[in-house]
């Protein structure tokens, strides 16, 4: 089975549910269509850390404009257009 990336939150729940229902790793893998290694690694991590969320959202470039800074730019002139806000931001105001 090829690499697919991280499991979705729904798939995490399916793995945990299958294991809690008493299915073995092999039975869970066959039922859900994942490899035994995927089921085993995920379930072990879930038992140790107690969370099922994917870490995929923490990868990639971070936001260049923080929520606070963007809020300040918008609050300065609530009727400003997107172009005006962009210009102000680029000037550093």
Burial of 16-34, coded b for 16+ CB within 10 Å and e otherwise, reads bebbeeebebeebbeebeb
pLDDT (0 to 100) of residue 16: 87
Burial of 51-79, coded b for 16+ CB within 10 Å and e otherwise, reads ebeeeeeeeeeeeeeeeeeeeebeeeeee
pLDDT (0 to 100) of residue 24: 92
pTM for the whole structure: 0.50
pLDDT (0 to 100) of residue 47: 84
pLDDT (0 to 100) of residue 30: 92
Q: Which residue, among 28, 64, 67, has the nearest Cα to 46 in the 3D structure?
A: 28
Q: Which regions of the chain are under pLDDT 70?
A: 1-5, 51-65, 93
């Amino acid at each position: 089975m090829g690499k697919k990336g991280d499991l979705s939150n729904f798939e995490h729940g399916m793995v945990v549910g299958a294991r809690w229902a008493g299915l073995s790793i092999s039975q869970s893998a066959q039922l859900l269509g994942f490899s035994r290694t995927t089921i085993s690694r995920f379930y072990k991590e879930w038992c140790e850390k107690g969370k099922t969320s994917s870490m995929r959202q923490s990868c990639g470039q971070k936001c260049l404009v923080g929520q606070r800074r963007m809020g300040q730019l918008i609050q300065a002139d609530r009727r400003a257009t997107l172009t005006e806000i962009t210009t102000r931001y680029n000037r550093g105001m």
